[in-house]
Structures are given as structure tokens and as C-alpha cells.
Amino acid sequence: MVKEVVLLISEFARAAGLSPDTVRFYVAKGLLIPERSSKGGGNPYQIFSAEDLTTARMIRLQQSLGYSLREIGSLNAEYRAGGGGDQRTAEVLRLQIARLLEKRSELDAALGFLQGKLAWVEAGRPGDVPQLEDYLC
């Protein structure tokens, strides 16, 4: 028999590597949906499970991959409702890959500008100062 993991907010936050305020924010946005305990009177305790811990880690991963909280909420709601499937997952992944490739292009241009400006400064500022528009595609 596997024992179910049951955590209160401070324990859950620590286990998820989040601050309690971030956990509360995720709950307020509907990204995490903890169970409510009968304890706590008018302000019942929020009880988090191992599944909630996985969800919190997925939220952080999705954020690191460039998804907005609104997108994460929408995707998570779709997943909870049983939507999706491999075709939908592939569609979502393709869209995010395209976004990240565009962002990479922008970052490459910004890095090129900064490296050019640094080289210009270190060379004693010869000629005209590098311009950002010269590095944009």
C-alpha cells in the first residue's frame, strides 16, 4: 500500500522549491487546486498532494520554456478536462518551438550588438559607435 503525500502550504512550498506567496498566487490563478480541509474554521487548510507537487514542478518547467501563466492555466485546464492527446500536444509544442526560435533570433541580435559595442569600447572607441539596428535582422 502506497501512503498518500499530504502537505500543508509551507511544507508544500518547501518541497516544490517555491515561496508560500508563489504557491498562494498559483492557487489564486487556478494553476494549483488543493483540497480543502475541514480544519481551520472559516479559513480551511489547503492540503496539497504528490500530484500537486508534480503540477507545481510542471508550471515552473513551462515558465522556463517561455509559456505565460495564462497559457499554462489554459493548457492545464485542457489537460484536467481530458482534452489534448498527441496531436494537440504536438501542436502546442510546435507553436512554442517557433516562439523560442524567434526569441533566440532577437537574443542573438542583442548579443551581437553588445559584443560589438564592447569590442568598440575596448578598442578605444574608433570610428562610429555600433548601432542596434545594424544587428537586427
Domain-located, residue 108: no
Domains in the chain: how many in total? 1
pLDDT of residue 58: 92
Domain-located, residue 50: yes
Domain-located, residue 23: yes
Q: Which of 19, 89, 3, 6 is nearest to 53 (CA)?
A: 6
Q: Give the domain extent around 50.
A: 6-83
pLDDT of residue 40: 58
Q: In this structure, what CATH number is given to the domain that contains residue 42?
A: 1.10.1660.10
pLDDT of residue 79: 84
Domain-located, residue 73: yes
Q: What is the pLDDT along the chain (137 residues), one digit of tens a residue?
A: 545 678 889 999 999 999 999 999 999 999 999 998 766 566 778 899 999 999 999 999 999 988 999 999 998 888 888 877 889 889 989 999 999 999 999 999 999 999 999 999 999 999 999 988 887 75
pLDDT of residue 4: 67
Residue 11 backbone phi and psi in degrees, to 5: -65, -45
